Amino acid sequence: MELRETLKDKTDEELFILYQKEKNHEIKQELTLRYVYLVKSIAIEMSKTYSHFMQVEDVVNEGVIAIMKGIDRFDPEKGIKFSTFISRRIRGMIFDLVREKDMMPRTYHNRKKSLDDAVQAFQKKHGRLPTDEELAEYMQMNLKRCKTLLQQVRLYEAVSLDESMYDDKENQVLQIASDDPGVQPEESYIRNEVTRILEEAIDKLRDNLKVVISLYYVEGLAMHEIAQVLQVSDSRVSQMHKTAINTLRSLIKEQLG
């Protein structure tokens, strides 16, 4: 307790010098606490970069770990402030998280954001959610294209492909190259590989699970409506939906090896 109080009276520079000599955990903890504000600030500033698959709190937690590692690697004698040193590392850590976790290309997220914005704007104006037809008209989009995009968003979000297709062993994201030099690898991936993998996985589902997926994500029926169609309870439909999604995740991971 006395040591902790003593550490609070020291400057950051004094603490770094002391830590290099003693490698004391309490010194490291005190330094870490002093820079948590920096992690929070950068995490909030860059939140749009990762908000589609991570929470600010998750990034802050990763950032705290980055600070602790950074303290061990920081050399005060190089004449650079730790705040500058660790800020670069935190930003790099966030970009690494995005590359590792995010399988969906920017175009997908842009389209999804356009859909979300349109739904919110319609709801604010009319006090209710739009039908597919109203949404397509509101977005000045072909109805068939709008429905296809809605189906993709619903199913991709449910299956969470950004996590299922991440290869922990290789510590890198899969990329499929395109023969068209004007098309980004990620764009080619979502248009071809993701669709193919999903279709093959869905084909392997039991018939009753396949029906639930189709009615919910393609036909747009609510859970209680599906229950009426299948003549089962709402809870049974919910259970079947969960089983279908978990099975799809497993099949996708299995297919990717």
Give tens-digit pLDDT for 36-70.
999 999 999 888 777 767 888 888 998 999 999 99
Contacts of 45 (CB under 8 A, 6+ apart): none
pTM: predicted TM-score of the whole model, two decimal places: 0.42
CB 127 within 8 A of CB 186: no
Alpha carbon 136 to chain centroid, angstroms:
27
Cα separation, 158 vs 252, whole angstroms: 13
Quick: pLDDT tens for 74-90. Answer: 888 888 889 999 998 99
What does the block give as tokens for 212?
């639930």
DSSP 104: S
Structure tokens given for 143: 């109805």
| Percent of the chain predicted with pLDDT > 90 | 11
Q: Regarding predicted confidence, which is higher, 81 or 105?
A: 81
What is the C-alpha to C-alpha distance for residues 235 and 227, in angstroms, rounded to an integer?
9
Across residues 9-17, what is the average pLDDT?
85
Distance between CA 192 and CA 102 in Å, rounded? 17
Distance, CA of 11 to CA of 169 (rounded, Å): 42
Q: How many CA atoms lie within 13 A of 201 on its CB side?
A: 26
pLDDT tens column, 170-209: 333 333 333 333 344 334 434 455 566 677 788 888 888 8
Structural domains of the chain in order of their starting residue, each with its CATH number:
2-101 (1.10.1740.10), 106-256 (1.10.10.10)
H helices of 160-206, in order, are 161-164, 185-188, 195-203
pLDDT (0 to 100) of residue 42? 92
For the CA atoms of 109, 112, 113, 116, the dihedral, rounded to the nearest 10 degrees, stands at: -160
Q: What is the distance between the alpha carbons of residues 219 and 213, in angstroms, rounded to a whole number?
A: 9
The tokens for 55 are: 């929470």
